[in-house]
Amino acid sequence: MKPLSTNYRSFDVWPGNCRPTRGIAVLEMLNILEGYDLRAMGHNSTDYLHTLVEAKKLAYADRARYYADPDFAKAPLDALISKSYAAKRRALIDPHHAARAFPPGAFSSAAGDAALRSGDTIYLTTADADHNMVSLIQSNYGGFGCGLCPTGLGFGLQNRGALFNLDPDHPNAYAPGKRPFHTIIPAFVTRDGKPYMSFGVMGGDMQPQGHVQVLCNLIDFGMNLQEAGDAARFHHTGDQEPNGENTPTADEPATGGTIALESAITPQTRRDLIARGHRVVDRTAPSAATGPSATTPSATSTTAAASPTRTAGCRLLTRKNYVTIREVGTARKLMRFHNP
């Protein structure tokens, strides 16, 4: 299966290839955002947040309509992640007003309509001295998965079948032997064909939004790895889902969803977003955690790691037989001890 990626300001982003994944939405959002000077807007300014939220709505409209097991449904993936398509979608964004909803893109050969939400997930990444990297996510989806454990094996089975759509005409419709739409995006970034970063974000439908915000922090705003993970984020919810949730009807029309903002985003920015038609909820952004990230910039032969301080996490850097840095949750300790 051909890996999917896009080039964002000279960085190649690879959001995992276990389809059908919402990683495609990361690529769509980045292609749309590439047409803006985000740095000039200012990090977490009203213009910046408005633009990212609207780009997210556009990508999630396609997510609900087209993402499905490619062995069962012909999704227009190459078109969805093309630069020309992004330009058409970008033109739908009103810089001054929030959209209640965007229609999915129109493609002659596709069919359908699409979801997810809570669950607990772990993300793990590692890189070695030769710049080999691993990006891994494990998630049972909702609760403790389906609650069943294979005899003698000691692990629980997932319940991601909940993300199938029960509309038989939808690309993501339930069928035997079919993979459901899912949430996990273990990602890589390369530059000039060489490894640059392995990273991931946890939290259901926060994942594409978190990926894009971390990448913009790194690439557009020049933050270091730790800063990019720690910077305040938004979490937009309420878009139509691939399993049919939040589908607008005559009785319940589209509302545009809601935005949760972390506390470091200023009250004035909140008021300005509301003035543009966004529904801002008065709570901290849920599922805003990112997994650890690791970079291996080949130009310097150095390795950096980061784990955001908003959640329990750990980063470990090793040099020969020494562990030099360890971070757990919000408690940081600088250590140097023998690692036999």
d(CA 144, CA 159): 8
Q: Cα torsion for 328, 333, 336, 340, to the nearest 10°?
A: -20
Q: Cα 32 to the chain's mean position, in Å?
A: 15
Report CA-CA distances (Å) from 172 to 17, 79, 121, 298: 17, 19, 23, 40
d(CA 286, CA 113): 26
d(CA 45, CA 256): 20
Selecting among 46, 121, 269, 290, the annotated active-site residue is: 121
What residues contact 77, with CB distance under 8 A and at least 6 apart?
4, 24, 70
d(CA 305, CA 193): 21
Instruction: Indicate if 295 belongs to the active site.
Output: no
| Helical packing angle, 46-66 and 206-219, nearest 10° | 140
Q: Structural domains in the chain?
A: 6-106+121-148+157-246+255-308 (3.60.20.40), 311-340 (no CATH)
Report CA-CA distances (Å) from 100 to 94, 219, 227, 238: 11, 29, 32, 10
Q: What is the 3-state secondary structure (H, E, C) of the chain?
A: CCCCCEEECCEEEECCCCCCECHHHHHHHHHHHCCCCHHHHCCCCHHHHHHHHHHHHHHHHHHHHHCCCCCCCCCCHHHHCCHHHHHHHHCCCCCCCCCCCCCCCCCCCCCCCCCCCCCCEEEEEEECCCCCEEEEEEECCCCCCCCCCCCCCCCCCCCHHHHCECCCCCCCECCCCCCCCECCCCEEEEECCEEEEEECECCCCHHHHHHHHHHHHHHCCCCCHHHHHHCCCEEEECCCCCCCCCCCCCCCCCCCCEEEECCCCCHHHHHHHHHCCCCEECCCCCCCCECCEEECCCCCCCCEEECCCCCCCEEEEEECCEEEEEEECCEEEEEEEECC
> Rounded to a whole number, what is the distance in angstroms from the first to the last CA of the chain?
41
Q: Which two tokens stand for residue 233?
A: 């984020």
pLDDT of residue 107: 73
pLDDT of residue 207: 83
d(CA 13, CA 155): 32
pLDDT of residue 110: 43
Give average pLDDT by consecutive 10-residue segment, the chain, 340 residues.
89 79 88 98 97 96 83 82 95 96 74 38 79 82 81 85 83 85 83 88 81 94 90 87 72 85 92 96 54 50 71 61 36 33
CB 116 within 8 A of CB 163: yes
The DSSP bridge pattern shows strands 194-199 and 187-191 to be antiparallel
| Model confidence, pTM | 0.74
